[in-house]
Amino acid sequence: MPASAIERLTVRYGTHVAVDDVSLAIPERSIVGLVGESGSGKSTLAKALVGLVPHTGTVTGADRVQMVFQDPYASLDPRMTVGASVAEGLKLPRAARAAEVARLLTLVNLDPALAGSYPRQLSGGQRQRVALARALGARPSLLVADEITSALDVSVQGAVLNLIRSLRRELGLSVLFISHNLAVVRYVADVIAVMREGRLVEVGPAEQITSRPHAPYTRALLDAVPQVGRTATARR
C-alpha cells in the first residue's frame, strides 16, 4: 500500500516541459531515491510536490509534504533564532511549543540548547539538521530532501545520511531523496528512480538498479560513478 503516489505529473515552463508525465509510488516507511543529472527535472518535481510550482497530474496520499533544501546557508531565516524557525510550522498552543522544539532538536541529534542561537552560529551540517527538524515539526506524511548533502563536506555528509535513515526507522517516515550522486542514493534509498530529461527512465529496488540496471542510461550513470581505487575508462 503506497503512502504517496504521484500520477502523470507534468510541469511546463512556457513551451519547455520540465517534468513529463511522471508516475511514481513512494511506499510507506521507505526511502525512494531520485537520481538524475542537471536539467533532468528532479528538483522541479520536488517543487511541484510541495506546491512551489504549478503542475498537472495528481499526487495522492501526500497531504502533508515537507521539504528540505540544498543550501544550508540559505534555508534558514538569518533573523530568526533556530527555535523560532522550528516553531513556525507548529500548530500548537504557545505553551507547548518550547517543549516540542526541544523534542524536535533532540530528534535530529542537536543539543536543545541551540534553540536560542542564530543560524550564523551553526555549521553547515547543523543547519541542515535544523531544517530537518523544522520539516519534521509539521509531522509530514512525506519528506522531500532535495540535494541536502551536496553542499556539505564528506565528513559531515555521513551524519546527515545516517540521520535520514534512523528517522525512517524510528518515525516510519517516507522520504523522497533527490541527489545527483548515485553512490549516496544507493546508500540511503530502498528504491531508486532514475530521471532524464523530465522522464523516468527506470525504477527498481536499489540493489537491483545498481547491480543489474536495465536502461542503458542507468548503466552509463553507474559507469561514471567515481570509485576509490578504480581508474576512469573510456565509455563503453
Partner 1 sequence: MRALRSPAPLTGLLLVAAVLTLALLGPALWGESAARIDDGAILQGHSPAHPLGTDDLGRDLLARILVATRLSLLLACLATVVGVAIGLPLGVLPAVLPPRGARAAAGTINALVAFPGLLLAMFTAVVSGLGARGAVLGMGIATAPVLARLTQTLAASVANADYVSAARVLGVSRLRIAVRHVLPNIAEPLLLNITLLFGGSLLGLAGLSFLGLGVQPPDYDWGRLLFDGLSRVYVDPEAALGPAVAIGLAAVGFNLLGEGLAKAASRRAVVPRGAATGEALREARSEGVLSVRGLSVAFPGGAVPVRDVHLDVAPGEIVGVVGESGSGKSLTALAIGGLVPYPGEVTGGINLCGQDLSALSPGELRRLRGTSLAMVFQDPMTTLNPALRVGGQLAEVSTTHQKMPRKEALARAVDRLRRVRIARPEERARQHPHTFSGGMRQRAIIAMGLMGTPKLIIADEPTTALDVTVQRDILLLLREAAKEAAVILISHDIAVVSQLCDRVVVMYAGRVVEELTVAELRRARHPYTRALIAATPDLTTDRDKPLATIPGQPPSPFDDPDGCAFAPRCAAATSACRTTRPLLEDGIACLHPQSSD
Q: Which residues bind partner 1 (CB under 8 A)?
A: 37-38, 50-52, 65-67, 69-71, 74-80, 85, 88-89, 123, 131, 134-135, 138, 153-159, 161-162, 165, 180-184, 186-187, 206, 210, 220-232, 234-235
Q: Which is nearer to partner 1, 34 or 184 (CB)?
A: 184
- What is the smallest separation between the CB atom of 29 and partner 1, expressed in angstroms? 16
What residues contact residue 94 under an 8 Å CB cut-off, 6+ apart?
none
Nearer to partner 1, 1 or 125 (CB): 125
CB of 78 to partner 1, least distance (A): 7
Name which of 73 and 116 has its Cβ closer to partner 1: 73
Q: Please state, in angstroms and rounded to a whole number, the distance separating the CA atoms of residues 85 and 67.
A: 14
67 with 50: CB under 8 angstroms?
Answer: yes
- Minimum CB separation of residue 100 from partner 1 in Å reads 14
3-state secondary structure (DSSP) of residue 18: strand
Place of cell 536560542: 116
Instruction: Specify the residue, 1 or 121, whose C-beta has the smaller distance to partner 1.
Output: 121
Beta carbon nearer to partner 1, 44 or 75: 75
Q: State the nearest-atom distance from the C-beta of 164 to partner 1, in Å.
A: 10
Q: Report which of 20, 150, 154, 186 is spatially closest to residue 73, judged by C-alpha positions.
A: 150
Helices (H), the chain: 42-49, 82-87, 94-107, 124-137, 154-171, 182-188, 206-211, 216-224
* SS3 call for 228: coil
Provide the minimum distance between the beta carbon of 35 and partner 1 in the complex, in angstroms, as a whole number: 9
How far is Cα 226 from Cα 76, in angstroms, rounded to an integer?
32
